[in-house]
Amino acid sequence: MRIEILADVKTTLGEGPLWDVDEQRLYWIDSFDGRVFRCTADGREIRAWDVPQKIGSMALRRTGGAIVSLQRGFHALDFETGEVTLIHDPEPDRPANRLNDGKVDRQGRFVAGSMDTMEEGANGALYRLDPDLSVHRLDSGIICSNGPCWSPDGTTFYFNDTWSGEIWAYDYDTATGAVSNRRTFAAVETANGGAADGSTVDAEGCLWNALVYDGKLVRYRPDGTVDRVVEMPVKKVTSVMFGDPDLDVLYVTSMAKPPLPRFPGDGPLRGSLFAIHDLGVRGVPEMRFAG
């Protein structure tokens, strides 16, 4: 195994690595600075787009451009013009919330959750944006939405409320996008101050989770038991995604500055985008939003 720095752009809150198999490009975001980045598999040709609010996640569209979950709702981003257009704000009555982590299911629907900006109150919810741009609430009572991803066959949905100490699994109806039967998939090791952040699933059906504030990546088997732990050179790792032409490189985002004063700092590698080689594991292609 080899860990390298792919891009040292010092993201204040790096998040959401997204490898697009069509473009063969890696996207990621700076959640606090409101920026979308793109580069090649080896970190060249870095390009950035500014968005007008904090950004929680993004999804590329089959029709071009992207869907972005901004602080105040789902928006469309035009890469050619940089224009950002509101689609729907699901929480106009909750100004202390913002939209956070999200991904696209195997059928092309975008699922993203909201969070309490102080990460204290269970004011957030989980939403699904359908290709017809309608929005549907899937769950509620969430402090900090993170880690959405699906089993390779799309029938199990994984998700976590960062401060619950658990990663959850739901039954996922691939025809309708409905969730049911929420249960504990894995208990998260929090003794060293860590918490579950972004996740992805590999081709063997194992879930990889970034243990933020503890500097670890944890691979869970489909039964929820721990298979492997990777120690990272920074504590504030935030999310993971397999990419590269063979989908065998794990990209890892991190933050340069903690969102709240109670969280620890990091050394000079803080905010870097990392690439992990030679894990012996491949990912699954990420889907584009169908709308």
Is 101 assigned to a binding site?
A: no
Collect all residues with Cβ–Cβ distance below 8 Å to 209 and sequence separation of at least 6: 147, 160, 167, 188, 196, 197, 198, 199, 217, 218, 220, 240
What does residue 233 show for φ and ψ, rounded to 5 degrees?
-80, 0
Is 15 assigned to a binding site?
A: yes
Is 181 assigned to a binding site?
A: no
168 forms beta bridges with: 159, 184
Collect all residues with Cβ–Cβ distance below 8 Å to 81 and sequence separation of at least 6: none
As given in the structure block, the two tokens for residue 49 are 């787009």
Residue type, 259: P
Distance CA 129, CA 256 (A): 30
Q: Positive or negative CA dihedral for 184, 192, 124, 208?
A: negative
Q: Which of 211, 183, 208, 186 is nearest to 197 (CA)?
A: 211
Question: Which of the residues are catalytic?
Answer: 197
Is 270 assigned to a binding site?
A: no
| Cβ atoms of 107 and 177 closer than 8 Å | yes
- Alpha-carbon distances of 133 from 37, 104, 121, 186, 196, rounded to whole Å: 24, 13, 28, 33, 29
Is 248 assigned to a binding site?
A: no
Q: Positive or negative CA dihedral for 56, 65, 11, 211?
A: positive
Helix (H) or strand (E) holding 163: none
Annotated binding-site residues for a divalent metal cation read 15, 146, 197
Residues of the binding site:
15, 98, 100, 146, 197
